[in-house]
Structure 1
Amino acid sequence: MKKIFQSISALGLFILSLSACNTGKNQTNQEDSSYSMEEKLEIARLAAVEESGYEVAYEFKEGKAIVYFSDSVGFINPQGKLTVVPGVKEMQNFSLGLSAGKTSDGIACFIDSTGKIVKTFPDYNSVYSFEADGITNFYHKNDKFGLMDKSFKELIPAKYNQTSFYSNGMYIVETGGKWGAVDKSDKVIIPFDYKSLGFMDNAGRIMASKSSGVGFIDRNEKILIPLNYYNFFPFSENRAKFLDETSKKYGVMDQQGKILLAPTYDLMDGSTNGMFIVGNFPIEGGNITKYGYLDSNGKIALPLQYLSASSFDKRGLALVSDSVGQFFIDRTGKRIEPKTDLMVIKTEPFNQGFAKQELMDGTVVYLDGYLRQLRKEDLIRLRGEFFK
């Protein structure tokens, strides 16, 4: 599921007053087109959770969302129709029409879109979702990894100790304490000369480390960023944070390796919607860590003034807190507080376009990116409008 940065400071419950729109057909005052398809699918998922009480509901993939309930597992469609999969205790998101999972007896398996177990693997510990080219890896009971295709034929036998998993036509693996990469025929692409290798991102960058340090290479072993840094983190929005060994501070680098921000902050989250969350530990004698935001060039966008901070959602809102409580801000730091006559005791950061809120009476609502509160009946109604 897509990563959403949660509040990075544990806080007690704060009372936050936010607008409570009228329930029923007047709850939303914008056209249906105001929601993206991703948001419509999230409304369908939330409607199913509130309507049926699923313990876990994954995001929709290929028109299906995996759900767990009462020691059972299955999947729903956007209309909320449930397909129970008997004899199965685990399922992963669907990919190419199949879900990797485990039977009730713990045997690795694949389930098709009708809910039928189409293949079991008594000799495997686990199987995983297929990539777009119909290849996936598996974990054998001999504690080794290998590759298979969509016909369940083994392409590479279980021979590797560790893997960063298969993607973009490369299988990054470890054997004999060294990391390298092979293709699906087990032909070596990157020699086994590295202390570690990360997966290759969509820009062709692979995080790599040797005794000299950490940096980035491409699949031809061309050095994109020298391997002499203490610690690096994957690129996000063409920006990467790195950690300085001496100061233990984080800085920011662009995709060409240019340092945009020298190591400055004790805490830093990766760039999301053009903003980094940063924080510094309290100075000696203090006890409060403060958080703020940087822009994509490493410049201060909002000073370190918050007790907690979360990522900005795509509509430009972020949940923060101060000594009084939680509230939303826009990218300029302006406090966003809609009119309200309803008390909210807890708000969670935006996740897939919606922020979960707990009301004083225990009711749960979901705040959308337009600051409209959606109750259970609103979610169900909107699902019916979006997915007839």
Structure 2
Amino acid sequence: MKKIGLFVTTVLGLLLSVQSQDLIAFKNAKGLWGFKDKTGKVIVEPKYLYKPSSFVEGRSIISKTYSLKGVVDEKGKEITPPIYYSITNFKHGFATVTKEFVDSVKLKQGKLVRTTVRGVIDRNGKEVVPVIYKELFGDLSNGWFAMATDTLNKKFYYNTEGKIFAVPEGMFIYNYRVDGKKFVVGKNGKVGLIDKNFKELLPFDYSLISPTQNNLLIVGQNNLVGLMDDRTLKWIVQPKYKNISFFQQGYGVFTDEQGLLGAINTKGVVTTKPQFNTIYRIDKTNSALAMYMYKGSDQSGLVDLATGKIITPAKYLMLPYDYDNGIIVFRKDNKKGMIDSTGKELFYAAYDDFSSGFSYNRAWVMKQNKFGFIDNTGKLVIPIQYDIVGGFVEGLAKVRVNGKYGYIDPNGKLVIPQIYLDAQNFESGMAWVKDETNRTYYIDKEGKEVK
């Protein structure tokens, strides 16, 4: 059974996610959250129950109560009070929101029924799509529409100005756009492309039109798929594959008519010949590195999809989620080790257990129930001596020896002495601790109590 499925992409264009450089969330000794600027000046006094979300498009989601959320701007001003049950991150200026209410009719019948309704707000907090609908398809981030369904299953199309517009009967608009101006639509079991004026740009002759990276469309016709340029709408590769997956780093995985997997580049040139039963893209951001398996085998190896070069033979048991920053965990003969992206074994069977994730170029290792840390070359850089450790967070890791916790830096230096019965990781410059008298409080990175 193939591990590569047919992907229909619902995300187009650049996600305009920018974390504000002006405001930083912080927590006081009472556990409430507020905002400071880069100089440490308090802009919003702590009053939020939970940590505000990271700023996206200059907006952060805040909570004053357990169930209600609102929005603040990059200056800390509440543009939306906490009245919504949920709020998504803003995308292209819009966010989906929900509210919950008790059905009064059902309540009179002795039944407690909670109903969730949905809508869309813009970055100024205005409800562009009223929060009254049971279903919402599209969130206006596509630059054109959101389709709302009421309790009677009647559908309404809203544009970005909050106005309802009509859609030709039998037509369904998908929630993504092509080249910023073209939209995938369905009609009579086929798909095509139109613009906002419903002008037909590609006829309804296709089984699939799926936008991917690098201005490409994965287009299906007559049970096969090919590649098309989304700007010119000209074929790059005529339909000849069973499947082409979403492109990453300029390469896509294809399935040929014999069911074997290979890779092509954005020009449609085969860079890795079809030979594998499984291909996992493990490095989704920095390279064409992938994990492969042959038919009838559970052994894995590494391949460079850009060149087709086999980096390691298929002799390991590997899981794609065990990859981090150029390092992947492997298993062989019921023992574990690490290799890097060149195929070099960093170590094998050296430890009883270890972390597959690195932070501050450090990952913990365990041997005979004691812990230390290695770097991303596999070198032991902090000796195995601790009873319990945490990962490095904000430059410090909690460690325990003889029942007492303290904190070390990535060089292994003890920055905060081991005097606590319990401790948690740092967050926003503070960590929760319990001292020998069982008193709990927060400390800063110098070990001083936060008042």
TM-score (norm 1): 0.65
Rounded to whole Å, the distance in 1 between the matches of 2:219 and 2:153 is 24
The structure-2 alpha-carbon separation of the partners of 1:282 and 1:79, relative to structure 1 and needing over 3 Å to count, comes to farther
Kindly indicate whether residue 177 of structure 2 is the aligned counterpart of residue 166 of structure 1. Answer: yes
Aligned mate of 2:225, from 214, 229, 249 = 214
The structure-2 alpha-carbon separation of the partners of 1:184 and 1:112, relative to structure 1 and needing over 3 Å to count, comes to closer
Q: One-letter code of the match for 1:290?
A: S
Deviation at 1:116, TM superposition (A): 7.0
Q: CA RMSD in A?
A: 5.1
Can you give the 5+ residue segments of structure 1 that lack an aligned partner in the other structure?
1-36
Q: One-letter code of the match for 1:297?
A: T
Rounded to whole Å, the distance in 1 between the matches of 2:331 and 2:302 is 12
Q: Is the 8 A contact 2:19 2:54 kept in 1?
A: no
Deviation at 1:267, TM superposition (A): 1.2
Greater fraction of residues in strand = 2
Rounded to whole Å, the distance in 1 between the matches of 2:149 and 2:234 is 33
Greater fraction of residues in helix = 1
The structure-2 alpha-carbon separation of the partners of 1:111 and 1:38, relative to structure 1 and needing over 3 Å to count, comes to closer
Larger radius of gyration between Structure 1 and Structure 2:
2
Q: Is the 8 A contact 1:100 1:127 kept in 2?
A: no
Matches within 5 A, 1:1-388: 60-64=55-59, 70-73=66-69, 86-104=82-100, 105-112=115-122, 119-122=129-132, 125-131=135-141, 134-141=143-150, 148-157=158-167, 160-161=171-172, 163=174, 165-167=176-178, 168-199=180-211, 201=212, 203-211=214-222, 213-219=224-230, 220-246=232-258, 248-270=259-281, 272=284, 273-280=286-293, 283=296, 288-310=298-320, 316-323=325-332, 328-335=338-345, 347=355, 365-366=391-392, 372=410, 377-381=425-429
CA offsets 1:144-170 (integer angstroms, 9 cap, x no match): 987643211235538534625234211
Q: Is the 8 A contact 1:180 1:193 kept in 2?
A: yes
Deviation at 1:243, TM superposition (A): 0.9
Partner secondary structure for residue 85 of structure 2: strand
Rounded to whole Å, the distance in 2 between the matches of 1:344 and 1:65 is 42
Can you give the 5+ residue segments of structure 2 that lack an aligned partner in the other structure?
1-16, 34-48, 101-114, 370-386, 396-408, 413-422, 432-443, 446-451
Deviates more, 1:219-228 or 1:122-131: 122-131
The structure-2 alpha-carbon separation of the partners of 1:109 and 1:362, relative to structure 1 and needing over 3 Å to count, comes to farther
Deviation at 1:242, TM superposition (A): 0.3
The structure-2 alpha-carbon separation of the partners of 1:295 and 1:242, relative to structure 1 and needing over 3 Å to count, comes to closer
Rounded to whole Å, the distance in 2 between the matches of 1:76 and 1:358 is 42
Sequence identity, in percent? 18
Q: Is the 8 A contact 1:84 1:115 kept in 2?
A: yes
The structure-2 alpha-carbon separation of the partners of 1:275 and 1:267, relative to structure 1 and needing over 3 Å to count, comes to same
